[in-house]
Every structure is written in structure tokens, then in C-alpha cells.
Structure 1
Amino acid sequence: MRYFIQLSYKGAPFVGWQIQPNGVSVQALLEEGLQIMLKEPISLVGCGRTDAGVNAYRFFAHFDTDLTIDDQNYPFLISKLNSWLPSEIAIARIFPVPDDLHARFSAIERTYCYYVDTQKDPFTTDRAYRVYKQLDLGKMNQAAQLLLQTDDFTSFSKLHTQVNNNLCSVTYAQWEQIENQLLFRITANRFLRNMVRSIVGTLLMVGEGKIDLEQFQEIIDAKDRSKAGKSVPGHALFLENVRYDMI
């Protein structure tokens, strides 16, 4: 039987979602916790692969087991897992799904948010990226709209990854200002490694006046990562939501 887990986590202590040889991952901790609770080997499949330090408001993973978890046992299992896991990881739901529903491949849409502080704020230093130059929000949003007309995001992808192609369909990309903080929200059917962070870094170049809209489009068309801006830090990036047809 297949079960989905909905969780959230703060990325700072981890090397990312996926198990890595060089540090502690969210996947490794959650698999260990489930194995202790269910007393059998558990292998988790996540809805994506967040990099080191990246956060998730709403993340999904699935696992298969021969055990049947009764409805009345879900709250108990969630409570036990949350007690065992570190404070940076929280389980919200565990629920049965059809055997063909896949946490990664059945997802039809993902949304990320990136937070930028325009003034010093001691309460957001661990979850926002501080910029010191004046930014033109209007120009940044004009550039962001060009992403909706793009399908090949090679210029914003990490090099030497194992994906078959760099094609993505972005349906929303917008900056908004909330007091002294800027929020960039982007939605697409899929994201490439490092894609959001390199897009944000390049949009900030537009906002600072280092490049104009025509040059931003040229970066997209070049399909060359070296042409785009630097990747901004991961601590200010949040996976906000993952959407499925059946959930």
C-alpha cells in the first residue's frame, strides 16, 4: 500500500532533502524515524530535491509498505514521528493514496518563494537575502514576465545534471513588496537544479540596472549558464506548495 507524507522543514541544518554522503538529509532522518515506528525498511520518494539550506513550507513524499495503517493510528504515528524528529522538521499529514500516485512524477505544479530584505532586519537574517542597492521593482517584474514566454531554461540550470532536458513551463513569476521585504513567487510544472536561485540572481541584476530587459532576454536565448547572474543563497528560498490532481 502507498502512503503520502506532507511535511515542512527548515533547511539550514541539512544538506537538502535527498540522502548525501557528506551530511544529514531530511530524507535520511525521516526514513530512519519511519523504520523505527513501523519496524520495517522504508524507502521514501520526495516530490523534488531541495538543495542544502533550502526550506519547504509544504513538501510531499511517498512510501510503500505491506502494513495497513488504521485511520485512528495516523494521529499517533504523526505525534510519535514529530517527537522523534528534530525541531526543524514537522509532519502535518500521513494518508493513503492510489498505488500509481507518485510524489514526484504525479505533481503537476510547484511554487517557490524567495525573500529579499532591502533593510537590515535582525528577525529575518536566517530566512531572507539582504541587498544593499536600490532596486527597480517595475523592471524586475517586466523581466519576470519574459520567463512565461520561455520554455528552455538552460541558462538558469546547474551544469552537468542528469536531467533529459531543460524544458519547463512557468505559469507565474512576480515580485511584490511587503514593507521592507521583497517576495518573488514563481510557479512551474517542474524546476531544474539551482533554477530559482539563478533566476533571482539575474533579476536582481535587472533591478540594480546592471542589465536591461533586452540583455535579460539575450541571457535566456543564449542557453548558457555562464551568461546569467550568480545564484543567490539557499536560506531565503522556500518551496511553498506542490499541487496534484488527486490531492
Structure 2
Amino acid sequence: MAKQRYFLELAYDGTKYHGWQIQLKDISVQETISKAVSKILSEEITVIGCGRTDTGVHASRYFAHFSSIKEINENFLYNINCVLPKDISIINVYDFGPEAHARYDATKRTYAYYFHFNKNPFLERYSTYYPFYTLNFKVLQKAAKELKRYDQFKPLCRYSTKYKSTNCRIFESRWEQIDENRIRYVVAANRFLRSMVRRMVGVSVLLATSRMDFKTFNEIMDRQGEFRHKLSMPPQGLFLEDVEYPYLKSQ
């Protein structure tokens, strides 16, 4: 019997999860959803995601797919959300055909990283509290434009030797002022490397606090060298906010 392939549109709070991908010992989002789908369909299912997110990183719009010999009915969405914990929500289920692939068919991914400057217990899980230095917003914007100029990101990648290519095409790179207490960095690309967005934010913060100058930044990026500074920012401020496919309208 031919298998049906289904796409899941979902969102999750990554606080208690060790990233998307299944781990040997720790709980992951992928494992949690796979077990829930398997329970609903009474069939061993492994969902395939559109990409990795690290420990503690969130997703407000994420996609995954799975294949099943069973045809799901109109109650599937309700049933799966009853089984899943409160920090994971399945928003929609799509049938894009048997060849559709959540990871390989994605053409654009958009991330956002959030900062807040006044201590707020309601933001602690979803934004990074940054009271340490004043961030020069004009310098942040300049950094965003500089990052968009590049298409090789080895200096901003964790485990760069594991990649055949560190080429990424940046479509958008900008900082936005949400209100007087909050800002965010928005970046979109065809692909991202491990920890790349958090390191893009980290190097931008160094530039905006005069702990690195643009000459040093450009020299390292031009020769694809190594930054000596600690770049990676905390995970809770990072969200995967959109993924685009040829057959699905973006938000």
C-alpha cells in the first residue's frame, strides 16, 4: 500500500527541549511529536523537520513531514494537539504530494532574535535581557548591512568542518525597534549553519558596543578566519519565524 505524505505546520516553546533533533538521552521536539503521531495513528512514525534548532530555541512557524500508510481524518488536528504537551502546537496539516520534503524543498528561512533592556519576568523565556552595555542602534543597522554583503560564513559557524560548503545567501538582514525597551534582529536566507544566527547577533553586539571595529570584522570575514571573541548569544531570544516553500504561501 502506497504511503501518504503529510506536512505539519507547528509552533513550539523550546525552553525545556534539547533542540529539534532526536537525542540519545535528552528530550527533543522531534521525538515528542513523533511519539504523538505514532500514538494517534498506531504506527511507528518519525517526523522530518525543516531544519535544526538548538537547545532552548523557539519556533513560531516550523514545518515537518511524515509518511503513513493511513489516511488521516478531520479529527487528526484536534487529536494530535490533545496528545502533545502545551508547549507544542500543530497549527495545520497539508497534503502536498508524496515527494514534498520539509527540509529540502524549503527556499527561505527567517529567524528573529529579541532583546529587552528592562528586566521583565514575562519576557525572560522569549527574549534576552541585556542591561550590560548600551547598544548603538545605528551601528547595529550598519552591521546588518555588512553581514548581508557576505555569502561565506565559516567564521560564524559552529563545527564548520562538518559542512561541505559554508555558503549561504542572505535575503534580509535588519534590526527593528519594537518599542523603547525592545529590539530585534531579523535575518532571512536560503540556509543557515549551526549557531550562525546567534553568532551573527553576537558579532553585531560587539560592534555596537565598540568592543570590535568594522576593520577587524571585515578582515576576518574577508579571509574567512576565526573570531577570538565569544560570539554566541543565549538561545531564548531566538525564534524561527517563517519557512517558505514553492507550494505554500509565506506569512
TM-score by length of 1: 0.94
Q: How does 1:163-182 map to 2 (within 5 A)?
A: 163-179=163-179, 180-182=181-183
Tell me by how many angstroms 1:246 deviates: 0.6
Where does residue 23 of structure 2 map in the other structure? Answer: 20
Where does residue 116 of structure 1 map in the other structure? Answer: 115
Question: Match for 1:232: what amino acid?
Answer: M
Offset from partner CA, 1:63-105 (integer Å, 9 cap, x none): 1112222xxx23x111111111111000001121122211001
Note the residue ranges of structure 2 that are not aligned, 5 or more in a row: none
Seq. identity, %: 36
Contact 1:156–1:195 (Cα < 8 Å) also in 2: yes
What secondary structure, in the 3-state scheme, does the structure 2 residue paired with 1:90 have? strand
What secondary structure, in the 3-state scheme, does the structure 2 residue paired with 1:219 have? helix
Question: Match for 2:17: what amino acid?
Answer: F
Q: How does 1:151-230 map to 2 (within 5 A)?
A: 151-159=151-159, 162-179=162-179, 180-227=181-228, 229-230=230-231
Tell me by how many angstroms 1:228 deviates: 5.3
Contact 1:143–1:216 (Cα < 8 Å) also in 2: no
Q: Give the 3 Å change call, closer, same or farther, for CA 215–188 of structure 1 in structure 2.
A: same
Query: In structure 2, what is the Cα distance between the partners aligned to 1:206 and 1:29?
Result: 39
Query: In structure 2, what is the Cα distance between the partners aligned to 1:246 and 1:228?
Result: 41
Question: Match for 1:10: what amino acid?
Answer: D
Query: In structure 2, what is the Cα distance between the partners aligned to 1:224 and 1:80?
Result: 50
- What is the root-mean-square deviation of aligned Cα atoms in Å? 1.3
Q: How many residues align?
A: 243
Where does residue 234 of structure 1 map in the other structure? Answer: 235
**Of 158-167 and 125-134, the range deviating more from structure 2:** 158-167
What secondary structure, in the 3-state scheme, does the structure 2 residue paired with 1:221 have? helix
Tell me by how many angstroms 1:22 deviates: 2.8
**Of 123-132 and 4-13, the range deviating more from structure 2:** 123-132
Query: In structure 2, what is the Cα distance between the partners aligned to 1:77 and 1:161?
Result: 42
Question: Match for 1:237: what amino acid?
Answer: L
Where does residue 54 of structure 1 map in the other structure? Answer: 57
Question: Match for 2:217: what amino acid?
Answer: F
Query: In structure 1, what is the Cα distance between the partners aligned to 2:229 and 2:93?
Result: 40
Where does residue 89 of structure 1 map in the other structure? Answer: 88
Query: In structure 1, what is the Cα distance between the partners aligned to 2:83 and 2:106?
Result: 28
Contact 1:219–1:228 (Cα < 8 Å) also in 2: no
